[in-house]
Amino acid sequence: MLVFRGILLIAILTIVFSCGGPDIPETIALEYKELPDKLDFNQDVKPILSDKCYLCHGPDKAKISAGLQLHSAETAFSELPESPGKYAIDPGSLKKSEMFYRIISEDPKIIMPTPESHLTLTAKEKAILIKWIEDGAEYKDHWAFIPIEKTDPPKVKAKELVRNPIDNYVLSKLEKHQLSFTKEADKEILLRRLSFDLTGMPPTVKEIDDFLNDSSANAYEKQVDRLLASERYGEQMALEWMDVARFADTHGYSVDRYRDMSPWRDWVIDAFNKNQPYDQFITWQLAGDLLDNPTKEMKLATAFNRIHPQNMEGGIVNEEFLIEYAGDRATTTGQALMGLTVACAKCHDHKYDPVSQKNYYEMTTFFNNINESGQISWNDALPTPTMLWTTEEEEKMLEYMANLVKENETEVAKTTQELMPKSHQWIASKSYAGIKLSNKGLVGSYDLNNTSLVNSIRTSQKGTMKREYTEGQPIDLVTARKGKGIKFNGDTWLDLKEVGVFGRHEPFTVGVWAKIPEEVTDGNIFHKSDGAILHAWRGYHLKIVDNKLEILMAHTGPDNAIKEHTKIEIPKDVWTHFAVTYDGSSKATGYKVYMNGKELETEVIVDNLYKNILFGRKKEPALQFGARLRGKGIPDGIMDDIRVYNRELSGIEMLQLAENKEVHTLLAKSPEALESSEKLLLQQYYTLNASSVKEKYAKLTEVRKAYVDSIEPIKEVMIMKESEPIQAYVLERGVYDARAEEVFPSTPEFLPPMSEDTPKNRLGFAKWLFKKEHPLTSRVAVNRMWQHFFGIGLVKTSEDFGNQGELPSHPQLLDYLAANFMENGWDMKAFNKMLVMSATYRQDSRASQELRDLDPENRLLAHGPAKRMTGEMLRDNALAASGLLSEEIGGESVHPYQPPGLWKVNGMTYKADTGEKLYRRSMYTIWKRSVPHPTLATFDAPARDVCTIRRQETNTPLQALVLLNDPTYIESARVLGKKMADTADAQKGIQYVFRSLTGRNPTQKELKVLLDLKNTEYKKFVSDDTKMKGWLNSGEFRLEDNDDKALIAANAIVASTIMNSDATITKR
């Protein structure tokens, strides 16, 4: 309902009042008479207000018309701001309620909703609102936001039909409609339904026969327990969770590059098979890394909030996508675990639910405190933070190598310490007086006095000036500190080509003289990398950041790295010597920055380098000065005299490299005059240059290299890892740089608050979710599980429990199940067993036309569920029936048959696997977000770029064409055709295949049709063998030379026909 104007509507509408109240139009009055004596606000009134009024008179304060909000009694009963003395709703009085006159008006200037809204109220909806006002306009909190209330199962007349409390609730409602349960499904049908629901796989013929022959009272329960214990159970439950968690094998967006996060999928499968309690299952995924002494599995679980799409497009704004990722996590968490569409509050207050824009950004704050990048690397590095995912053997090997490194580090330290007495003697004898900077280890020396850019140490090496991807840019030689130097324009850089290539195990020193212009506050002095953020900062660099120096060394920034900032600003417009030294330790303590020969104090930002800083290419990027690809340079900066060493220079040598006059004073001093800090410098020089230390150091470097090489091939997985809190803000209109008020971690105000002693982080959030008084967590979980087994949730809109969502069909049953789930320790297997053991689940799915007309969606649950199987089930059914299906559980995703050319949209080529990988379960199929596998996508599999709680359901001609033409189905049909051919009795062969694919025996009519089809096709192929080529050649499976190919091809058509039948594709 839009604007309420201050107009006296009584006169305008010419309503005749009688008996003290206004008349109601006849069409509305007729509906009014049919209404129950007592209306329920949540069931009857709120859906109307939410659908027809909240758009302009709902919770979103920014979109309120005429100052009226109808989502709460307080605001709805208040005086209209634009019409003093008038009220939209006066409880109990139609005469004083402006709403009444507006909804019954026919005048387009007065009627509500307005014609411009394209919303209208039906006569029944008007009658409901009128009666509600007359009865006192009682408001209630939204049903999903009030505490869970467990009731006793209602009593029913047909007690003999009840198998567990679920049936009491369902049957009670059926009896109110003079209905009852449909008979129990036949054993064959029931076992197939159960097997697909619990494992996603068909029962084998032997399993069907075993069940048919088991006449014990608990025969069905034994099948339930068998399937719950199957490893396939974990796969089936995990497949649904993959949709919820938006799991895919690619990063998404336009490039959509591959990434392997299969270990997380394996963990999910294992968690379901181990029956991990739901509260623990979710807590690990939200905050496993924050638990006490977290295991690697706990950390791995947190990938739930890292497997969202991530962007590697060049030119994007890093900060924008950091906010996007945190928002995705909050959105997914809100929808998957609470059934809330919190993303609707990203740009403004939620229009229908009491989620403010501030609430949205408070929620995202729980998920933005990780050291990640908005733009991910162009190479195959996983976005950080990551964790090494090691096998047991790899763990033992790494432990051994790490201990070996420590032993050698201890040897170096021990040898250094043993040299202390000699260093004292050396200092006392003033042997230091003649120290000169040695060229030992000098691998690059560039005086930059001319355009040749020759390395004076190795004249075959020459630098070049580059810009973007072009070499040979002009060299601007200008007067420098000594002779000439290069003046940079901010876009071109000096590339030393082969020089400066060091791994993280190798010590090195790089120094350069530079004159930095006053106006340069940020820019690259030098770096060894290939671009900047494009490859997640792999390599090392020295750059200016906000007038200070930053040194960085990274495998994949920002987390698998060392990063330090100096505490003082750099001088400008004067010649300054800048340098870094590194000792090969992969620690921040071993990575130092110098200015004019003096070590600068730094703040360590990151100290977490555990993989190599090299690209591992044939042509490795080398040192570059003055700018970097797609990074800031030093416009008008001048550089001179570059030196590169393959060793760590000592403090004395750094003073000499920078030609700092203090070194001369120091070396001229008598031993007695030396200060303690100067003695330490001399001792460092002595020990670093001592032959015994160098020998030990050389061995240490070798061992470190072996350690680095052993780590490099080990798989990494993305995880959540808490960093320092990042200040968050409400963002106006959701724009990343439109900051408004500051916000801090908090939960939506309309839900129970976090307790004071709960940490305001992801772990605290997880604990809050599983508080007993939380009204949503358990309701949403049990509803999703109900949806899995019955095809539709008790709340149909399983993704939305808010005001725009549908009401529960059985609210008391939903609360009973939610309470029961919590009381039983969030036991998922026990809960699933309760569902499938119910008489409600075990009903036959067939229903009379009368019942279907009365309840087309089976919301009353008067018959069993019937639903077309998913694309995964259909494909796995064909593979299992044919015997082709691989038994392997877990592992990396595979590439089954796929039409050529689909991946060209991203400039990629799809290459199908061979052998067993072609026949893995469909859940292991490579999931490319921009091009989901067509066989699965045709059957409504989502792209998984967002959280999907329920898949859309379509019926299209393409689906039949997939079943007829996909190589997997043709190949499976051929294998089944051979099995039929190998069976002496053709009828028995068809019966076996029919049972394998449908779970039941064919009727005599079906059998005759299939036999006739086989004979017809056989005659056709015998007379023209060219017509059977497609049936014989699709896929890898090959027939023997002596096989009757015409017979097998004819049988394959029979098998394909069965695959396409309703009996196969529908789970009844």
Q: What is the pLDDT of residues 758-779, one digit of tens each?
A: 999 999 999 999 999 999 999 9
Residues of the chain with pLDDT > 70, as a percent, come to 98
* Residues 711/394, Cβ–Cβ less than 8 Å: no
**Domain final residue, candidates 646, 672, 705:** 646
Mean pLDDT of 470-495: 95
**Gap between the Cα atoms of 331 and 339, Å rounded:** 10
Q: Is the pTM of this model over 0.85?
A: yes
Domain count, the chain: 4
Q: Are residues 1048 and 973 in the same domain?
A: yes
Under DSSP, the state recorded for 43 is: I
Is residue 877 scored above 80 in pLDDT?
Answer: yes
What is the mean predicted confidence (pLDDT) over 383-399? 97
Mark out the alpha helices in 553-712 (DSSP H runs).
Answer: 651-657, 662-668, 676-689, 691-711
The position carrying tokens 């040898």 is 415
In a domain, 592, yes or no: yes
Q: Calculate mean pLDDT across residues 528-538.
A: 88
pLDDT value, residue 67: 83
pLDDT for residue 21: 59
Q: Which residue has the higher pLDDT, 618 or 807?
A: 807
- Asked whether residue 449 is assigned to any structural domain, the reply reads yes
- How many angstroms separate the Cα of 254 from the Cα of each of 629, 930, 931? 21, 7, 11
Distant-in-sequence, close-in-space partners of 418: CB < 8 Å, separation ≥ 6: none
**Res. 2: pLDDT tops 70:** no
* Averaged pLDDT, 548-554: 98
Query: Do 358 and 489 share a structural domain?
Result: no
Q: Are residues 749 and 821 in the same domain?
A: yes
Q: What pLDDT sits at residue 531?
A: 79
Q: Please check whether residue 869 lies inside any domain of the structure.
A: no
Same domain, 447 and 570: yes
The answer to whether residue 369 scores a pLDDT higher than 60 is: yes
Indicate if the pLDDT at residue 1 is higher than 50. no
Average pLDDT over residues 591-596: 99
Domain C-terminal end among 646, 664, 680: 646
Sign of CA dihedral 354, 360, 362, 367: positive
Q: Specify if 500 maps to a domain.
A: yes
Q: Which residues of 880-895 are buried (b: 16+ CB within 10 A; e: fewer)?
A: bbbebbbeebbebbbb
User: Are both 498 and 594 inside the same structural domain?
Assistant: yes
The one-letter code for the residue type at 856 is: P
Residues 252 and 122 in one domain: no
Is 892 among the domain residues? no
Whether 445 and 512 map to the same domain: the answer is yes
Q: Are residues 261 and 345 in the same domain?
A: yes
Claim to verify: residue 445 and residue 364 sit in the same structural domain: no
3-class SS shares of the chain: helix, strand, coil, % to 5: 45, 15, 45
Terminal C-alpha separation, the chain:
44
Check pLDDT > 50 for residue 3: no
- For residue range 96-154, list pLDDT tens digits in order: 888 998 899 888 888 888 888 889 999 999 999 999 999 998 988 899 999 999 999 99
Q: Is the pLDDT of residue 74 over 90?
A: no
> Are residue 243 and residue 340 in the same domain, yes or no?
yes
| pLDDT of res. 96 | 87
Looking at residue 19, what is its pLDDT? 42
Give me the domain span that covers residue 37.
Answer: 9-140
Task: Decide if pLDDT at 995 tops 80.
Answer: yes
Task: Specify the pLDDT at position 11.
Answer: 34
> Where are the alpha helices (H) located in 25-138, listed in sequence order?
26-33, 46-52, 54-57, 73-76, 98-104, 123-134
pLDDT confidence of 14, banded at 50, 70, 90? very low
For residue 376, give the 3-state DSSP assignment: coil
**Res. 283: pLDDT tops 80:** yes
Q: Which pLDDT belongs to residue 881?
A: 98
Q: CB under 8 Å to 266, separation ≥6 — which residues?
A: 890, 891
Q: Is 616 exposed, middle or buried (0-12, 13-18, 19+ CB in 10 A)?
A: exposed
Q: Is residue 929 part of a domain?
A: no
pLDDT of residue 101: 87
Please list the alpha-helical segments (H only) found in 898-1039. Answer: 934-938, 957-965, 967-981, 986-998, 1004-1023, 1029-1033
Ranges 288-297, 873-882, 904-913: which has the least confidence: 904-913
Query: For residue 484, what is the DSSP state?
Result: E
What phi and psi, each to the nearest 5 degrees, are found at residue 264? -65, -40
**643: nearest Cα among 652, 634, 631, 656:** 656
Q: Report the pLDDT value the prediction gives residue 20, as an integer from 0 to 100.
A: 47
Report the C-alpha gap between 879 and 919 in whole angstroms.
7
pLDDT of residue 147: 97
- Boundary (domain end) residue, out of 140, 155, 184: 140
Angle between the 691-711 and 676-689 helix axes, to the nearest 10 degrees? Answer: 70
The predicted pLDDT at position 117 comes to: 85
638 and 737 fall within a common domain: no
What is the average per-residue pLDDT within 931-960? 97
- What is the pLDDT at residue 15? 38
The CB density around residue 1046, as the number of other CB atoms within 10 Å, is 22
Mean of all residue pLDDT scores within the chain: 94
Residue 980 in any domain: the answer is: yes
Which residues, other chains included, contact 598 with Cβ-Cβ below 8 Å and sequence gap of 6+? 654, 655, 658, 660
Residue 487 lies inside a defined structural domain of this protein: yes
- Cα of 58 vs its chain's centroid, Å: 32
For residues 472 and 610, membership in a common domain is answered with: yes
